[in-house]
Amino acid sequence: MLEITEVGQNVHLLKVQVPINVESVNLYLIDGQVPTLIDAGTNTPNVIEAVNEGMKHMGMKRLEQVIITHWHVDHAGAAASFSKKGARILVGSRDYQEWASFVGGEGFSQFYRWATEEWKVPVKEISNMLKIYKEFHMLTALPDKVELIEPGQTVLAGDDSLLAISTPGHTAGHLSFYNEKDRILYSGDMLLPNEIPYPGIWQEGDRAVSGMSSYLKSLDVVEALEALTYLPAHGEPSDDPVARCQEVREQLYLQLDQYHSAETVYLSASNVGSQKIHPGVLFLKLHYAYGWEQLKKRVG
């Protein structure tokens, strides 16, 4: 069952079910001169059907472009399918690299190296995570052709121009898109009303970098926009992104205060209560533990 809600002039929110551990993902259809979809969902038939249904509901005859906030499978997965139907795919250049590396498998090899060498995760635990990687891998595909965008660039969506804002943290090249005229921010996973996105980890030079400190800077950037509304990729569209940025920042610093380092990142991540951790949960906990370790080094 598809939920379609009008959330602005010529803007509709589609809440789409995806076969991963999130309730649903929000796609935004924008009608006008340049009919646009913000984020693509997973590469599954129900997503394509939902977008078709949404377009019919809005009286949209064609989809000219899909704008991607970040490369994760629930946001970029179906882009290739929309591309085959003639839509242009706009994606940030930094996240396109990460996406290609995930699809090509290098992303997982990199993760394997960090996990074994730096964080001392037992190989058995990593094999369990490999199963999840394989499931996620089926939900995305690289389009034959994309248009790479850079932060600071403006794109026309519907009848409004959207400014691409660099908001790294959850991914290395996460972009948020700001409609300056109406002061509406398409925040992707950068700012969510009910949760805090986990900090990504990516390669910079020869080292693994946690997105935790970039995420904190991204909160400052988004707060300074003084947007009136944000349209997130999960949860409900909400007012007062400024207050939400402040709340998230406070929660993160509180979590940092409560964090205790164990001997290795793996032990820090796994020493919370239960003996057996689901590999998906361990994956998230490793990201947090590594984030806190790096942030502690920075703030001293």
When the beta carbons of 160 and 189 are compared against Zn ion, the nearer one is 189
- CA distances in angstroms from 91 to 52, 143, 149, 150, listed in the order given: 21, 11, 6, 9
> Minimum Å distance from CB 274 to Zn ion?
25
When the beta carbons of 12 and 174 are compared against Zn ion, the nearer one is 174
- Phi/psi of residue 50, each to 5°? -60, -40
When CB distances to Zn ion are compared, the closest residue is 189
When the beta carbons of 98 and 189 are compared against Zn ion, the nearer one is 189
> Minimum Å distance from CB 15 to Zn ion?
13
Query: Which positions touch Zn ion (CB under 5 A)?
Result: 74, 189
> Minimum Å distance from CB 299 to Zn ion?
27
d(CA 271, CA 243): 33
When the beta carbons of 51 and 68 are compared against Zn ion, the nearer one is 68
Q: Round to the nearest angstrom and report the end-to-end CA distance of the chain.
A: 50
> Minimum Å distance from CB 132 to Zn ion?
15
d(CA 274, CA 153): 47
> Minimum Å distance from CB 95 to Zn ion?
13
Tokens of residue 56, six digits: 């019919």
* Residue of 24, 144, 25, 39 whose CA lies nearest to 91: 39
> Minimum Å distance from CB 189 to Zn ion?
4
d(CA 199, CA 202): 10
> Minimum Å distance from CB 70 to Zn ion?
8
d(CA 165, CA 175): 5
- CA distances in angstroms from 63 to 81, 91, 145, 148, listed in the order given: 12, 16, 16, 18
When the beta carbons of 74 and 223 are compared against Zn ion, the nearer one is 74
When the beta carbons of 12 and 170 are compared against Zn ion, the nearer one is 170
> Minimum Å distance from CB 42 to Zn ion?
10
When the beta carbons of 70 and 285 are compared against Zn ion, the nearer one is 70
3-state secondary structure of 254: helix
Tokens of residue 291, six digits: 């984030």
Beta-bridge partner residues of 28? 13, 38
When the beta carbons of 35 and 199 are compared against Zn ion, the nearer one is 199
Give the residue ranges of DSSP H helices in the chain: 45-58, 73-76, 79-84, 93-104, 106-113, 123-137, 212-225, 241-258, 265-270, 279-299
